[in-house]
A = this chain, B = another copy of it.
Amino acid sequence: MVKRLELAKSSQKTLLNLTPNLKEKVLLDMLEEVKNAKFEILEANKLDVMAAKSANLNSALIERLTLDDKKIDAILASLLDTARLKDPVGVVLDGWVNYAGLKFQKVAIPIGVVCVIYESRPNVTAEVASLCFKSSNVCILKGGKEAKHSNLAIVSALHKALVKNGIDKNVITFLDDFKREDLINLIKMDKFIDVIVPRGGSELVKFISQNSSIPVIKHDKGMCHIYIDESANLANALKICINAKCQKPSACNAVETLLIHKNIANEFLLNLANEFENLGVEIYGCEKTVAFLSKQIPNLSIKKANDESYDTEYLDMKINVKIVHNLDEALDHIERFSSSHSEAIISENFTNIERFLNEVDSACLYANASTRFSDGYEFGFGAEVGISTNKLHARGPMGLSELTTYKYKIIGQGQVRK
């Protein structure tokens, strides 16, 4: 592994002098190569899916793992999109002249070597590699073992485009023969790696954050909340809650807990429970919710929520519902259980919305919209490396500019300090 990392690190120089034009061309070549390799990629994917099935991996994982024409098209679309994004390197972020006449420029530069550790979705391989390339970063990819064949087929296509353009293929380094015990070594390789981005299970993210000597940009779980205020437009609230739970329950920006103001709880809960029943969403309710709904809808299947449920990212058609006395109780609940990813308030009360947006300490705070918008594309960033739950450097959707850092260029005419 050390040899691979050395090669990756030393390939960094290749990226320094690529023009934006050439980078765009290489990304379009990657698109062509992935298109050409479609058959090989799908065949490789079949091997992974078969292995996953015979290992009895869960169906959500197998779904994420499986590639089809539509997912390949999505990879191609994302490569096209990234090719056409504005080059983030060299952007002048700030500039000024100091008292002594020195001219300062704060300029965006690549981070250097970015290591992304991720799980089953093979499309992440192409997305992350292309974003890193566009931002002139070397990437080191550590994908899930279960997606190995698919990932290798994709990386092989990307490498063809690099080689065709005379670029050192180590700028996209895929760690294939990676063993579980290699992880602890990898996250100590601060000599070769500038940042680690772990995407995946909470335990993995926690292990890496606590043991890495390399700076970590966590992509931890999304324990997202929606608070429905007394003043909410309840039709909007219903639509948003259903969208945030059901449009893609496996996403980290899906809502896991609804907090409902007591004064509108009865009216709202009745509509909500009926809709959720039709859609197949299982409710974990607080005591009051269970009491009320069991009485109103006698055959409703409803479970009792406890602190464990409030702390569970279901990623499934399950949801916690809690009735609260007021905004303060909702804020307290969110402070206690949120993973600081995304939360929403549904309200027509200006002061309550202001308080919610100011006081909740999460990356993305919504007033009257679905938490499902926490995504690079929805934000307008284009493809994303993921959704950071870090507090420093990158928060929320991590796109191209979050893959840069900066330096100061300072021009003088012989100035010395007095």
Listed by A's residue number, 30 A-B pairs whose Cβ atoms lie within 8 Å are: A96-B380, A98-B373, A104-B379, A109-B361, A112-B391, A188-B210, A194-B391, A194-B392, A211-B213, A215-B215, A215-B216, A215-B390, A239-B416, A243-B416, A364-B408, A365-B407, A365-B408, A365-B410, A367-B410, A367-B411, A367-B412, A368-B414, A369-B411, A370-B412, A370-B417, A372-B416, A392-B393, A392-B405, A395-B405, A395-B406
Report whether B372 and A417 are in contact in the complex, using a CB–CB cutoff of 8 Å.
yes
The 10 closest A-B pairs by CB, nearest first: A369-B412, A243-B416, A236-B414, A372-B417, A210-B213, A392-B393, A393-B393, A369-B415, A370-B416, A368-B412
Query: In this assembly, does A366 line the interface, its C-beta being within 8 Å of a C-beta of chain B?
Result: yes
Given contacts A102-B373, A217-B392, A240-B416, 4 further A-B contacts (CB under 8 A): A104-B380, A243-B416, A367-B412, A373-B415
Give the chain B neighbours of A215 by CB distance below 8 A.
Answer: 215-216, 390-392
Report whether A410 and B373 are in contact in the complex, using a CB–CB cutoff of 8 Å.
yes
A residues adjacent to B (C-beta < 8 A): 16, 96, 98-100, 102, 104, 109, 111-112, 188, 190, 194-195, 209-211, 213, 215-217, 233, 235-236, 239-240, 242-244, 247, 357-359, 361-370, 372-373, 378-380, 390-393, 395-396, 405-417
User: Chain A contact residues: over half helix, strand or loop, or mixed?
Assistant: mixed
Q: How far, in whole Å, are A11 and B358 apart by their CA atoms in the complex?
A: 17
State which of B102, B211, B363, B413 has its C-beta within 8 Å of the C-beta of A408: B363
Report whether B414 and A239 are in contact in the complex, using a CB–CB cutoff of 8 Å.
yes
Highest count of chain B CB atoms <10 Å: which of A16, A361, A410: A410
Q: Which residue of B lies closest to A370 (CB)?
A: B416
Report whether A417 and B380 are in contact in the complex, using a CB–CB cutoff of 8 Å.
no
Q: How far, in whole Å, are A373 and B102 apart by their CA atoms in the complex?
A: 9
Report whether A243 and B417 are in contact in the complex, using a CB–CB cutoff of 8 Å.
yes
With A412-B367, A415-B369 as known contacts, state yes or no: A407 contacts B393, CB within 8 Å: no
Report whether B396 and A408 are in contact in the complex, using a CB–CB cutoff of 8 Å.
yes
State which of B359, B379, B380 has its C-beta within 8 Å of the C-beta of A16: B359
Q: How far, in whole Å, are A172 and B370 apart by their CA atoms in the complex?
A: 38
Give the chain B neighbours of A195 by CB distance below 8 A.
Answer: 391-392
Give the chain B neighbours of A363 by CB distance below 8 A.
Answer: 407-408
Give the chain B neighbours of A379 by CB distance below 8 A.
Answer: 98, 104, 408
Report whether A410 and B233 are in contact in the complex, using a CB–CB cutoff of 8 Å.
no
CB proximity of A19 to chain B, nearest CB, Å: 13
CB proximity of A125 to chain B, nearest CB, Å: 24
Q: Which residue of B lies closest to A390 (CB)?
A: B215
